[in-house]
Amino acid sequence: MAQSPTSRGQSARASLLTVDDDPAVSRAIARDLRRRYGEDYRIVRAESGDAALEALKELRLRGEEVAVILADHRMPRMTGIEFLEQAMDLFPYARRVLVTAYADTDAAIDAINLVDLDHYLLKPWDPPEEKLFPVIDEQLRAWSAAERHPVAETKLVGHRWSARSSAVREFLARNQVPYRWFSSESSDARALFTAADLDDPELPVVVTPAGDVLVAPSDADLAERVGLVTRPSADFYDLIVVGGGPAGLSAALYGASEGLRTVLVERIATGGQAGQSSRIENYLGFPDGVSGAQLTERARRQALKFGAELVTTRDAVGLDVNGSARSVRFADGSTLDAQTVILAAGVSYRRLDGPRLDAMAGRGLYYGSALTNVAACAGQDVYVVGGANSAGQAALALAREARSVTLLVRGPSLTQSMSAYLIEQVEAHPRVRVRTSTVVAEACGDGHLEGLVLRDVTTDATTTVPCGWVFVFIGAVPRTDWLGDVVVRDRYGFVPTGPDLLQDGAAPPGWPLDRPPYHLESSVPGVFAAGDVRAESAKRVASAVGEGAMAVMLAHRYLEQL
C-alpha cells in the first residue's frame, strides 16, 4: 500500500519516495526522512513496487517532481532494480538509490549500469545522521543542480483535419515535449484565442509554458520556444552524426563516451521509425518488450550523459569534402564541419500513389503517427497499410481502443516481412484482421478522409470501404537525396560501404587512399554509413545499434591515420 501523494494536502513540493516490503522498515526510513526533510519535501512511502509505481504515476499526472527514489533490493514480485528500471521512465531525472544488505553489494554494483544507479545504501543505516542523511543530502544537491525538462505543459490548439496541426502534434510527441491538445472548436480554445487577442487565427496555435503564443509555427521556431536544442555550440567537431534513429543515437553515445567531440543533427526528432513503434519485443535485454519512445528516450539521455550534443530541426541538404574536413550543409544556409561523418538518416515510409491520396495526408491518412492517435481512434474502424513489423506493432496498439483494425498487405501473407512472434499476436487478436493481396488505390472524401478504394492485386477487382483513419507503413525510401553525387549510392538510394564498393577486389574509382574502404565506410574516406540507410543492412533495431557503435570504432581508426 502506498501513502497517497494527495492525502497529505501538500502541493508544489518535490517528493522523496521510499519503497520497502517490510512495513516496519518502510515506516522507519520514512520517519527518518520526514524528520530531516519533511519541511521542504513531501515524503511518500510504499510497501511494494507496484504500489510505488502507482504513486509515481499519480505524481507524474499532477505535474509534480520526484527528487530521490530509495528502493529496497529484495522485494517479492519485483526487485528494487526492476522497480527502478520502470521508475526511471516516469521520472528520468530523479536520483536513484538502492537499499541493500551487505551480501547483495554485487547486485547493487550491477545496477549502476542497468538503471544508472546513483548510489547504494547498506542496511542498517543507523545512525541516520552518519549513514543516511549525508547520502540523501548529496543526492538532493545533485538533483537540484541538474538541468531538467519543465513540467509545465505546452498548449496546442488545432483541428483534426488540419494537416499542419497533425504534424505539430507529432513533432511535440516525438520530442517528448508535454502538451495538451485543444480542438479549435472547443470553449477552451476560444478562451485561449481571446486571451491572446486572436481572431480566427491560422491553425495550429501553440502556447508555450512561458505564455508565448505561436501561430502556425515552423518546426524550428517551435523547437526553440519549447526548449529543444536547435543550434550546435561549436563550428567544428571530431564527429557529425546525421540522423537520430537507433544507429545515430548509438553512434553519438559511443563517439562521445570515447572522447570524440560529437554532435548529432536530426531533422525532426530522435528515434526514427523505431521511435514510433508501440512495442519492440525482440530487442536484447528487454524480455517484456519496450516501446520505441522509451528506448529512444533512454538512449538520448545516455548520449547526453557522455557529452554528445543533440540538435534538432537541422535538415541536411549537402555534403562537401574540403581537404581533411567534411562539411554538412543545412537548409537554413548554415554549415557544420568535422573530421568524420556518420550517415544514419534512416529511411522514410513510401507514399501511397493514387487519386486524392496526397490531399488526405494529415487529414485522416497518416504516415506512421499511430501512437499519437490511439485514443482518438476509440470505437472506430481503422486501416493499417503494410506487412512489416512496424505495421503489425501499430495494428496491435490501435486495437487497444479501435472497434476494428484491418491490416492491408500487398503480398500473399505476412510471413515474407513480419517476425513470427508478431504474426502470432496479430492473428490471435480478436479485433485485428488481415487482408492480403490488397493495396490502396484511391481516397474518398471532401476535405478529409471518408473512404478508401481497395484493389485486389491478383484479380484487379476494387471495393470501396468507409474509413476515417488509415496509417501507412510501407516500403523504405532512404533519406540520401541530399548527398548528390558526392557519395556513391545504389539505384535505390542506399549507401554501399566497405566490400560492396570493391570492384574485382580493387578500391572504387576516385578512391584516394592506399587502403580499401573500411567495412562501414562509404566511397568518401571518413564518411561512414550505419543502420537502415546503408545498402544491405538488416533493417532491425539491434543491428542498427551495433552498426552505430562499429562506425565509431572505424572512425577512430580513420582519425588515427590523419
Which distant-in-sequence residues (6+ apart) come within 8 Å of 111 by Cβ?
80, 81, 84, 98, 117, 120
User: Which amino acid is located at 149 in the chain?
Assistant: H
Rg (CA), the chain: 26
Asked if 471 contacts 445 with a C-beta cutoff of 8 angstroms, the reply is no
d(C-alpha 146, C-alpha 144), whole Å: 6
Domain ranges of the chain: 15-145, 154-225, 236-348+477-560, 358-472
User: What phi and psi, each to the nearest 5 degrees, are found at residue 402?
Assistant: -70, 155
In this structure, what DSSP letter does residue 351 have? P
Is 313 in a helix, a strand, or coil? Answer: coil
pLDDT of residue 414: 95
Is 358-472 in the same CATH topology as 236-348+477-560? Answer: yes
Closest residue by Cα to residue 497 from 526, 513, 520, 524: 520
CATH of domain 154-225: 3.40.30.10
pLDDT of residue 191: 87
Question: Domain 15-145: which topology?
Answer: Rossmann fold (3.40.50)
- Of how many residues is the chain composed? 562
Angle at 194 between CA 188 and CA 196, to 5 degrees: 105
3-state secondary structure 143-203: HHHCCCCCCCCEEEEECCCCHHHHHHHHHHHHCCCCEEEEECCCHHHHHHHHHCCCCCCCC
- Residue 100 predicted with pLDDT over 90: no
How far, in whole angstroms, is CA 319 from its chain's centroid? Answer: 26
pTM of the complete model: 0.80
| DSSP-based helix, strand, coil % in the chain, nearest 5 | 35, 25, 45
Closest residue by Cα to residue 62 from 97, 10, 17, 20: 10
- Residue 108 predicted with pLDDT over 70: no
Q: Which cell goes with 22?
A: 517490510
Peptide bond into 478 cis (omega under 30): no
pLDDT of residue 10: 39
Per-residue pLDDT tens over the stretch 322-336: 999 999 999 999 999
Question: Domain 358-472: which topology?
Answer: FAD/NAD(P)-binding domain (3.50.50)
Kindly provide the residue ranges of all beta strands, DSSP E only, lying in 399-512, ordered along the sequence.
404-408, 432-435, 438-444, 451-456, 462-466, 469-472, 477-478
Q: Quick one: angle between helices 80-90 and 105-114, nearest 10?
A: 20
Per-residue pLDDT tens over the stretch 425-477: 999 999 999 999 999 999 999 999 999 999 999 999 999 999 999 999 997 79
Q: Up-side HSE of residue 115: CA atoms within 13 Å toward CB?
A: 32
In terms of CATH, what superfamily is 236-348+477-560?
FAD/NAD(P)-binding domain (3.50.50.60)
